[in-house]
Chains A and B, each alone.
Chain A
Amino acid sequence: MSWNCKISEERLSEYLDGMLSPSDAATFAAHAGGCADCSRLVARVGGLVGQLHKLEQLEEPPQLIQNILDATIGPRIQEEGWKKWFSWAPLLWQPRFVMGVVTVAATLAIVIHSSGITPAKIKRADFNPVSLYRSANRQVHLTYARSVKFVNDLRVVYEIQSRLQPEPSPASQPLPEPQPQQPSGTPQQKSEKDPPRDRSHMRSGSMFAVLLPANSPGSLIATLTRSAQ
């Protein structure tokens, strides 16, 4: 069979891929060497094949594998084990949450400081329920007493008190004549003898009695109670 350009073109790829027998390959090369058209074709297609082989594979889109797995074996749990339990952790670093935490911490610090608790002096025994109850009870009473004292110490309160109840001076007011023979005294007369502070003391309840001594001159509550009578 005489080798011609048509045969060269038909068997070009076999030649390039090394699939021709040695004798056919030699004949091919000899023909191409003497034929400008065939030689150009070999160079052109040979160059193309070289380029194609050098072409790198494209990377698949990152989500493709995940999509395939989702479509075949269904969506799976992304994180397993302990990581799953801490999947919310990144949320803690959101500015909104951090600001909230800082605000709450500052508020707590102010409350603790103002209520007189010193964290450095806390002992283990202080967490005993009895101790907790006692200290809480004490703290409540102290706070109440302080606030009452604060109110009573206000100048305006003192002024009102003194207007409502002018303090009787013992010198200007003579003591009533003793009337030993008065068996039929009216209840009204009897009540006049009782010191008014004692009555207010009894009506105000035991707590006020404890907090506000009856002989306190600046007792607003006692005064108000009296004036209401």
Chain B
Amino acid sequence: MEPDAQLVQQCLRGEGPAWEELVRRHTRRVYNLCYRFTGNATDAQDLSQEVFLRIYRTLPSYRPAFGAFPTWLTSVTRNLLVDHYRRTRHDRVTDSIDDAMPVLEEKHSKARTPDRLAEAAELSVQLQRALARLSPELREAVILRDLQGLEYNEIQGVLAVPEGTVKSRINRGRIELARILEEMGVRPS
């Protein structure tokens, strides 16, 4: 049995430490997905908390046969992100994300030199800005594929759309993102 499935079983038996372990294993993944999608650290934190709250409540309904736990977790996260996007659509006059860019990008490997660190942080910020200009459908496809490292069939499970749509969204998302970056003057290395 996979560690996640085992932890879920332990959680269902009411073992608190198992839930804590499950949260520790997956918080970063969920937080990154939320952060890359919203571009806002505060929203990402709130949404991450909401995701785990929902997971905690619906854990008894989870069956390993439906798919791996991380896929289910990503699916719940994605649904909440879409809800959040729809909820806040009216609040957004523009899709400007510049103000919301935090200085959270400095957390990289300590072995890097300051120059490389600054370069990587700068790239991360620019990519985040470019991502914010993508439509939510293309944005989530690119994030799941290229930042979360999901396979096509996993993304298909998360988004609940046909395989062709997944391929198309990933492809269009990448091309669009490259075009935006080029507009911004960022050259691919």
Please report A residues at the B interface, Cβ cutoff 8 Å: 9-14, 16-17, 19, 41, 43-53, 55-61, 64-65, 67-69, 71-73, 76
Q: A9 and B32: CB pair below 8 A?
A: no
Q: Which of B31, B168, B181 contacts A48 (CB 8 A)?
A: B181
Interface string of B169-181 (1 = CB under 8 A from A): 0110011011001
Q: Which residues of B contact A68 (CB under 8 A)?
A: 23, 27, 48-49, 52-53
Chain A positions within 8 Å of B142 at CB level: 52
Given contacts A14-B167, A57-B32, contact A72 B188 (CB under 8 A): no
Stretch binding the partner chain, chosen from B68-76, B78-86, B87-95, B100-108: B100-108
Q: A14 CA to B182 CA in the complex, in Å?
A: 22
CA distance A64 to B31 in the complex (A): 9
The CA of A80 and the CA of B90, in the complex, are separated in Å by 48
Report chain A residues within 8 Å CB of B174: 12-13, 16, 45, 48-49
Q: Within the complex, what minimum Cβ distance (angstroms) separates B150 from chain A? A: 12
Beyond A45-B174, A45-B178, A68-B49, whether A55 also contacts B28 by CB under 8 A is: no
Query: Which residues of chain B are near A50, meaning CB under 8 Å?
Result: 188-189
Contact of A73 among B16, B105, B146 (CB under 8 A): B16
| A residues near B181, Cβ cutoff 8 Å | 48
Within 8 A of A (CB), among B44-59: 45, 48-49, 52-53, 56
Q: How many A-B residue pairs have CB under 8 A?
A: 112
Contact between chains at B177 and A48 (CB < 8 Å):
yes
Assess the B188–A48 pair: CB atoms within 8 A: yes
Q: Answer whether A51 and B189 are a contact pair too, CB < 8 Å, given A57-B32, A60-B27, A65-B24.
A: yes
Q: Are A52 and B147 in contact (CB under 8 A)?
A: yes
> CB within 8 Å of A: which of B4-25?
16, 19-20, 23-24
Question: Does the CB pair B109–A72 fall under 8 Å?
Answer: no
Please measure, in the bound complex, the distance between the C-alpha atom of A56 and the C-alpha atom of B189, giving whole angstroms.
Answer: 16
Chain A residues with CB under 8 Å of B146's CB are: 49, 52-53
- How far apart sit A58 and B127, CA to CA, in the bound complex (Å)? 13
Which A residues are CB-close (under 8 A) to B127? 51-52, 55
- Quote the shortest CB–CB distance from B25 to chain A (angstroms): 10
Q: Which B residues are within 8 Å of any A CB, using their own CB?
A: 16, 19-20, 23-24, 27-29, 31-32, 35, 41, 45, 48-49, 52-53, 56, 104-105, 107-109, 120, 123-124, 127, 142, 146-147, 149, 152, 167-168, 170-171, 174-175, 177-178, 181-182, 188-189
- Cβ of B105: which chain A residues have Cβ within 8 Å of it? 58
Partner of B171, one of A10, A43, A46: A10
Q: Which of B16, B23, B109, B171 contacts A14 (CB 8 A)?
A: B171
Q: What's the nearest-Cβ distance from chain A to residue B163, in Å?
A: 11
Does B28 contact A57, Cβ atoms closer than 8 Å?
Answer: yes
A9 and B175 in contact, given A60-B31, A69-B23 (Cβ under 8 angstroms): yes
Chain A residues, CB < 8 A from B168: 10
Docked complex Cα distance between A65 and B45 (Å): 10
Given the interface pairs A41-B175, A45-B175, A58-B31, the reply to whether A13 lies near B167 with Cβ below 8 Å is yes
* Residues of chain A contacted by B147 (CB below 8 angstroms): 52, 55
In the complex the two chains form, is A56's CB within 8 Å of B109's CB?
Answer: yes
- Expressed in whole angstroms, the minimum distance between the Cβ of A171 and any Cβ of chain B is 105
24 A–B contact pairs at CB < 8 A?
Answer: A12-B175, A13-B171, A13-B174, A41-B178, A45-B175, A46-B188, A47-B189, A50-B188, A53-B149, A55-B147, A56-B108, A56-B120, A57-B29, A57-B32, A58-B35, A58-B105, A58-B107, A64-B45, A67-B45, A69-B20, A69-B23, A71-B53, A72-B53, A73-B19
Known contacts A48-B188, A64-B31: A55-B49 contact under CB 8 Å? no
Q: Among the listed B123, B152, B175, which residue makes an inter-chain contact with A51, where contact means beta carbons less than 8 Å apart?
A: B123
